[in-house]
């Protein structure tokens, strides 16, 4: 595993109007070919960091660090790249500005071109908010992207999806140990409450009804709740809020290039694209992706038939992983 690296962008002006220095934290795996033609980008997802996406690649998998130069980029707000928890100026903690999916991708593009000197990416893939970043990439920089595989994500937040994440954040904020974001020690009860709400949405109804959780060594729905409670304890509470703000604001057309014209943004994505939603996902619905594909000139929709809900793209079962690998192989076979 490669060491963590940091790329600093001075005086970046965010879409929300704040000017600040931003650090893009990233990790690479494998070796860049002499033609610089084997680079694959994977942006992180909500609550995840660069090590959490390792389930998407390994020797013997479709994405293989023995063949591909894999760049994993931490999204802003996740505690690795610039976040409320690690910025030491007037923007720390509750004062952290909104950093959009657009901001993330603009900074990632600078990393790829200015720091890594890579002219084109063989593939961009990602799960959930990582998928959103991949679609923003395809719209903004079509000439740099050969193929896209957005997994369990979308090109904009849906109204119901927005209500979900805002509800979970409101529960976090109401807990006494959150102290309106001015805590001096980790507000573990607040984060646990957030995780409790999250459990009902990460997995599908059938995941619980069919007791699929037993395949993970869990014996009850309460164990599932405990899993999500514990998973988010690695995150800072204000970081969770910052990433949620990124989530609720995302729309690949909300920028100066597309001026809110969603179909125009989608039609700009010329890369060979396979969109892979889960047919039981409670966040990002197949019907939303089906509408997106209509406007995209070189895209197909291949839903995962899975009882795992949103977690179908989270690397937790071999069947869904194999279907994702098949899609990766199809995209990598596409002419570069």
The catalytic residue among 52, 103, 281, 307 is 281
Tokens of 239: 């970081």
**Please, how many CA atoms are within 13 Å of residue 202, restricted to the half-sphere of its CB?**
25
Question: Cα–Cα distance between 272 and 265 in angstroms, integer?
Answer: 15
CB-count exposure of residue 57 (10 Å: 0-12, 13-18, 19+): buried
Alpha-carbon distance of 114 to 284, in angstroms, equals 33
Largest Cα span, the chain: 56
Cα gap 245→33, rounded to integer Å: 37
Query: Which of 68, 278, 310, 320 is flagged as catalytic?
Result: 310
Q: For this structure, is 310 an active site residue?
A: yes
Catalytic site residue 307?
Answer: no
DSSP 67-83: T-EEEEEPPTTSSSSS-
Nearest CA to 46 among 243, 313, 305? 243
In the numeric block, the tokens 């957030």 are attached to: 194
- Full strand arrangement of the beta sheet holding 123-127: 5-13, 19-29, 69-73, 39-43, 123-127, 147-151, 272-275, 299-301
Selected catalytic residue, list 81, 128, 204, 306: 128
204 is catalytic: no
Catalytic positions are 128, 281, 310
């Amino acid at each position: 595993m490669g060491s963590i690296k940091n790329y600093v962008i001075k005086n970046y002006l965010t879409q929300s109007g704040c000017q600040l220095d931003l650090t893009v934290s990233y990790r690479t795996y494998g070796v860049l070919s002499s033609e610089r033609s084997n680079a694959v980008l994977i942006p992180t997802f909500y609550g995840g960091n660069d090590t959490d996406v390792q389930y998407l690649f390994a020797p013997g998998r479709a994405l293989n660090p023995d063949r591909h130069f894999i760049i994993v980029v931490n999204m802003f707000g996740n505690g690795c790249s610039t976040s409320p928890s690690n910025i030491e100026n007037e923007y720390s903690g509750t004062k952290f500005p909104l950093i959009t999916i657009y901001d993330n991708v603009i900074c990632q593009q600078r990393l790829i071109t200015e720091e890594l000197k890579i002219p084109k990416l063989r593939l961009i893939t990602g799960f959930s908010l990582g998928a959103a970043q991949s679609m923003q990439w395809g719209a903004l920089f079509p000439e740099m992207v050969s193929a896209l595989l957005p997994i369990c994500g979308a090109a904009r937040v849906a109204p119901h999806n927005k209500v979900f994440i805002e509800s979970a954040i409101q529960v976090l904020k109401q807990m006494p140990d959150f102290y309106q974001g001015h805590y001096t020690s980790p507000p573990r009860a607040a984060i646990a409450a957030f995780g409790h709400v999250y459990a009902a949405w990460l997995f599908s109804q059938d995941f619980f009804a069919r007791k699929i959780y037993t395949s993970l060594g869990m014996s009850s729905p309460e164990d599932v709740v405990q899993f999500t409670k514990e998973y988010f304890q690695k995150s800072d509470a204000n970081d969770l809020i910052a990433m949620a703000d990124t989530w609720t604001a995302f729309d690949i057309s909300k920028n100066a290039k597309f001026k809110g014209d969603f179909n125009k943004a989608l039609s700009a994505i010329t890369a060979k694209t396979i969109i892979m939603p889960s047919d039981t996902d409670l966040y990002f619905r197949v019907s939303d992706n089906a509408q997106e594909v209509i406007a995209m000139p070189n895209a197909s929709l291949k839903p995962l038939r899975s009882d795992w809900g949103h977690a179908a793209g989270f690397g937790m079962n071999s069947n869904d992983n194999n279907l994702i690998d098949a899609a990766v192989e199809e995209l990598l076979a596409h002419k570069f």
